[in-house]
Structure 1
């Protein structure tokens, strides 16, 4: 994809307090910009409703329009590949996704700017409490890692990049409709060691050809625009209340990080098509009807096809334990937690010893107390 060289300058997510000049940050609790220095607060209004979309085919042909592009400074982690936005005066930081120190600035990158975001709803303290509860339920987790996670080290608020796709589809299909009929048939069975013939109800499927057309309008098919976190983590954070998306406003990013997308919009659409095709097949089976269905041929025409770049809120913690990184992510709106679970070899060994002792005690009791 070729980006227009007339892109606007990088956006700044910093806002000065009009009372004391310190930096304001967005506070998820009250949903306002607040100043930690003097306590000044400013409301931030969400603009919901119809959100701007970009025509995917037009972008594939000639790139996005200049108004849809922004410049940003990113630093890319050499370990996990995360691309994290840097502030104007930053030159090094620790990767929030794997705790690897990063000192190389990858410079200005030109990307499609977000059209919408879901603001954080839960605070860092609430996210940390949710993570601690989740860790506490894990058997065999090393005690010192659990204590370290609960020790008060702050989690980082990250806006993760996603693509959403809208599409209008019409699918013509051919297949077969199966109707189950039950009929009585003589069946030989063994009764008291002797063969007997009995009449039993046996299911038989009668297949008839079927064909037709189904249409489906897809709205906000969601695809992660980054590969820095395992997909099993991000998928498990769903559902996201995408109906609450509001038009992009950098004020919601004040005090938070934004991750740049590393999955191009065209690649994201390939995953979106797989999601859409699964829904279309369900529609076809429903349209064929009957008791069973077989799909032969599908031919799908896609009409209007648009996309958005959206930011979704994630609280993130990365801990290094015995030279390995363990990552925990919390949905910044619902508090759902996912993460990599470490195992304590000491705890596992202790359980094995206890089980062996219990087995020996049980055997001793069953033998009447004599070995």
Structure 2
């Protein structure tokens, strides 16, 4: 069997075609000189948080989707993003996890924190893996500033900024909901009963180079004539030959969501993500939006997700290398020559509607506008449709009978 490596493989990582930029929000103020950019964040060192007050009116600056700027929705003042440029660097998975274990030894710091809002004095709670939220009393966006350097946590390496603004996201979800004919009427009034928010979710993106040795069998089909008389017919049979070989795979940007409590299948359906467009992490891209760090770490998501994606593609590569009409793969032994990762924040618009005591989530890809979600089914509408179908069939049968 051939010993030559096969072509590279890239599961669930194709980059979608670039989309036209969404229309800008009306009449932003003139941008400052890019040569004198500074991070406009206001740091609260005692609380280890940061906010983004507008220097013109004191309201809040938020990241403006589709534009490299922070925008004040109250007065239109804009600040150019002062963030590092370039591509996102990936780190060796084994080395990073060993270093994390060493740093975190004996450090049992809790993810849950209560902070005092420096704008109004109210207490804001960060629960679980939430890292950016809004004060429940004055709506000031607040970011935790401690987890990026926390010894027991992997830092965020990159961010894929929002490109779809709220107006476009709402239009997309409106079309999606309108097309759900059998959704209950109450579900379609999501504006009154649902919550709609922008959030950065945590993902891990993996690169790997693998070499796989295999043994198996190649099947070559042939046909024979069997039987006699009226029972004579053609049958397909297969000759099997033992084979062995070696294949190589080169994986790039195999992504895995790292947050729990969300509909994992629908999150996967939002793919593909344009991962090469991700930028080195800056908290400015998160300003005004919710954000979460990971619930499952890079090793867990590799073993429980990315490894399965890679194994599936390796099996396909082995079968192509075996060739023939049919293939049997008896044994594979894969060696990871390199395995690197990066933690990325990816943008999602999230609609949550509670119906009949159950939450239903609808996700909008914050870059491509792709909509995926679940909705309840209306028993009344389904029953009415079935009854209408029965009536139509009955009318057709009566007309056919009268025509005879």
Q: Where on the TM-score scale, by shorter chain, does this alignment land: which range? A: 0.7 to 0.9
Counterpart CA distance in 2 for 1:91 and 1:215 is 56
The ranges of structure 1 where at least 4 consecutive aligned residues each deviate by more than 6 angstroms after the TM superposition are 8-11, 69-72
The offset of 1:11, in angstroms, is: 6.8
Q: What whole-Å deviation, never above 9, does each CA across 1:266-287 have from its counterpart, x for those lacking one?
A: 2101121111111111111122
The offset of 1:60, in angstroms, is: 3.0
The offset of 1:86, in angstroms, is: 4.8
Q: What SS is found at the alignment partner of 1:284?
A: helix
Distance 1:64 1:217, change over 3 A: farther
Is 1:213 paired with 2:231? no
237, 250, 261: which one aligns with 1:228: 261
Q: What SS is found at the alignment partner of 1:142?
A: coil
User: Normalized against structure 1, the TM-score is what?
Assistant: 0.79
Counterpart CA distance in 2 for 1:216 and 1:55 is 18
User: Normalized against structure 2, the TM-score is what?
Assistant: 0.73
259, 275, 281: which one aligns with 2:292: 259
Counterpart CA distance in 2 for 1:301 and 1:217 is 12
Structure 2 residue aligned with 1:119: 161
The offset of 1:46, in angstroms, is: 6.8
Is 1:345 paired with 2:386? no
Greater mean deviation of Cα atoms: 49-58 or 295-304? 49-58
Is 1:188 paired with 2:228? yes
292, 298, 313: which one aligns with 2:332: 298
Q: What whole-Å deviation, never above 9, does each CA across 1:301-322 have from its counterpart, x for those lacking one?
A: 1122221111110000111223
Distance 1:92 1:19, change over 3 A: closer
Counterpart CA distance in 1 for 2:292 and 2:158 is 14
Q: What SS is found at the alignment partner of 1:303?
A: strand
Counterpart CA distance in 1 for 2:175 and 2:82 is 33
For these two proteins, the number of residue pairs brought into alignment is 335
Structure with bigger strand share is: 1
28, 43, 53: which one aligns with 2:90: 53
- Map 1:78-227 onto structure 2 (within 5 A): 83-87=129-133, 111-146=153-188, 148-150=189-191, 155-182=196-223, 184-190=224-230, 197=232, 202-227=235-260
Counterpart CA distance in 2 for 1:14 and 1:149 is 30
Counterpart CA distance in 2 for 1:342 and 1:165 is 35
Gaps of 5+ in 2: 1-44, 115-126, 140-145
Is 1:284 paired with 2:325? no
